[in-house]
Chains A and B, each alone.
Chain A
Amino acid sequence: MSALTKADLAEMLYEELGFNKREAKELVELFFEEIRTALETNEHVKLSGFGNFDLRDKTSRPGRNPKTGEEIPISARRVVTFRPGQKLKARVENYAGTNQ
């Protein structure tokens, strides 16, 4: 099963909006880059109808190397979480999950 990629999104902009291939590729790159840049500068991202990308700060906690069982501290870190919007949740909920 093949997943949707940046190349597929660029192809879609080329076909649907008549962008040339270079413009389409650049736009797709900028879309994801501007979201990363916002998150990296501690800004939450709210894309109505799709969802929100939020940031959460985690405190340090004791961890373990699963192979050796050795204890290693996991340092405090900032992570990105995605909260899907109502509209996206409603659209996805009814997916029947058939895999034939």
Chain B
Amino acid sequence: MTKSELIERIAEQQDQLSLKDVELAVKLMLEHMSQVLAAGERIEIRGFGSFSLHYRAPRVGRNPKTGDSVELTGKYVPHFKPGKEMRDRVNESIQH
């Protein structure tokens, strides 16, 4: 499912907002969630999961083409931990 399919499906499930409004809302939500993570804050959606940042320590990496070593600075990467309802619903689908 792509972002535009998600927008269409949400629009079909409700009768108050136009497709255009749903599109604006979905894009704004994703933008806001990205901003929050970029500011180092967590996102906690009950039953869905939480997003946070994990730190990656500085290390010496290698250029795979030349084999030269490259100093890589420490950085943060986004991390998602599925919530209980998400884990259960996804795992139940394996039984069918």
Contacts and interface: CB of A to CB of B under 8 A. Distances in A.
Interface of A: 1, 3-6, 9, 12-13, 16-17, 19, 23, 26-28, 30-32, 34-36, 38-51, 53, 55, 57, 76-82, 84, 87-89, 91-98
5 nearest CB pairs, A to B: A82-B80, A3-B42, A78-B94, A3-B44, A84-B78
A1 B78 CA distance: 18
Contacts of B66: none
The secondary-structure label for the interface of chain A is mixed
B19 interface: no
Contacts, number: 161
23 contacts: A3-B41, A4-B32, A5-B46, A6-B46, A9-B29, A13-B25, A23-B16, A28-B29, A30-B13, A34-B6, A34-B9, A34-B13, A36-B48, A39-B90, A45-B6, A46-B3, A78-B94, A80-B80, A82-B51, A89-B78, A93-B75, A96-B40, A97-B76
